[in-house]
Amino acid sequence: MTRVSTAARADLLAGEEPLGIRVDGTALTMTMRTPGDDVELAAGFLVGEAIVRGRDDIAAMKVCDGTTCGHLDHTDDEIGNIVDITLAPGAAMPQGARRAFMTTSACGVCGKTSIHDICVLPRTALSADTTVFDPVMLTMLPDRLREAQRVFSATGGLHAAGLFTASGELLAAREDVGRHNAVDKIVGWAVLQDKLPLSGCALLVSGRASFELVQKAVLAGIPLLAAVSAPSSLAAELAEEAGLTLIGFLRGQSMNVYAGAQRVAV
C-alpha cells in the first residue's frame, strides 16, 4: 500500500479584488482584477469601449482615497478600489455605455445588451499600417514575455500581455487574473504615454485570442495580435474585417495565421 505524506507550508497566491470605474461621477462598471496599474486599466478600458480615443479625451484620473473623489459615503473596501475619470470637454460616454452588471476577471463583454454593442471598429482602418513582422522574431516573443512575468513566476496564476516593436523589443508587459485586464493595462499605459495609435506594434497575450481582445487591439491601433492558444471564430471574423493580423498557437517554431497574413514575412 502506497503511503501518502502531507505537510503544511506557505504559498503565494495572485491577488484578485474588485475595481470600480466611474466616469464623470457615474458608475460605468465593476471588474475583478489583480491590484496594481489601476489607472492604466481604467484608461485602457475606456479605449476598448470606444469612449475615448487617446490622452486628450481624458481631463483627469485618480484612484479614490475616500477624501478627494467627491463622494464621502465610501466603505473601507471601496477606498483604493475605485478609479474616478473626468472626460475632457467634447468627450462623452455613448448612449447605453454603462455595463448592466459586474464583469468578472474572465469576461470583457459581460453586461453588453446586444451584439451591436460589442462590434466596434476604429474610425481609421488598420489596413493603412503596412508593417511587416519576421516570423522568426515572432516565435521568440513568448519567451521574452515569460521572462517579464514576475508575479506569474511566484504564483503561476496570472495571464499576461506584452507589447513589442516590429524588431521584437518589449515596450511594456502587464499581468492580471484576467486576460482582458492585462491588455487594458497595456493600452492604458500607451494612453498615459500619449502613444496611441500603436502603429507598427505587436501584442502578445497568454491563453487564447477572444473577440474582446481583438477589439481592444483594433481600437488601440495595434496591427498584429498573437496568442499562444487558439482564437475564436468571431475573433477571426472581426480581425479580417478590421484589417488586423491575427496569430494563434504561437508555440515553439510554429504558428497559425488566421487573418492579415500579408504582415508576416514568409
Q: Give domain limits for the chain.
A: 17-116, 126-263
CA distances to 8, 24, 48, 64, 153 from 81, in Å: 32, 17, 20, 7, 25
Asked whether the predicted pLDDT for residue 69 surpasses 80, the reply is no
Tell me the CATH number of domain 126-263, given options 3.30.420.40, 3.40.140.10, 3.40.50.2300, 3.40.50.2000.
Answer: 3.40.140.10
Amino acid, single-letter form, for residue 174: R
CATH T-level assignment (fold) for domain 17-116 = Ubiquitin-like (UB roll) (3.10.20)
Q: Which of 36-40, 94-98, 122-126 has the lowest mean pLDDT?
A: 94-98
Q: What is the DSSP letter of 98?
A: S
Buried b / exposed e across 58-92, counting CB within 10 Å, b at 16+?
beebebbeeeebeeeebeeeeebbbbbbebeeebe
Of residues 183 and 113, the one with the higher pLDDT is 183
The model's pLDDT over 82-115, given as tens digits with 9 standing for 90+, comes to 999 999 998 887 765 655 444 544 455 554 433 4
Active site (catalytic) residues:
107
Quick one: cell of 182?
A: 492585462
- For residue 151, the model assigns a pLDDT of 53
Q: What is the largest CA-CA distance in the chain?
A: 74
Sign for the pseudo-dihedral over CA of 149, 150, 156, 158: negative
Looking at 146-253, which runs of residues are DSSP E strands? 159-165, 170-176, 201-205, 224-227, 245-251
Question: How confident is the model at residue 198, as a pLDDT?
Answer: 96
